[in-house]
Amino acid sequence: MSLLQEVRERLLAGDAEFRHLAEEHSRYEAQLDQLLKSPYLSADDILLEATLKKKKLRIKDEMEKLIAQRTKSAQATH
The mean pLDDT of 31-56, rounded to a whole number, is 95
- Please give the pLDDT value at position 45: 95
Q: Is the CB of residue 25 less than 8 Å from the CB of residue 63?
A: yes
**Whole-angstrom distance, CA of residue 23 vs CA of residue 60:** 11
- Please give the pLDDT value at position 7: 84
- Please give the pLDDT value at position 78: 62
- Please give the pLDDT value at position 18: 94
Model confidence, pTM: 0.83
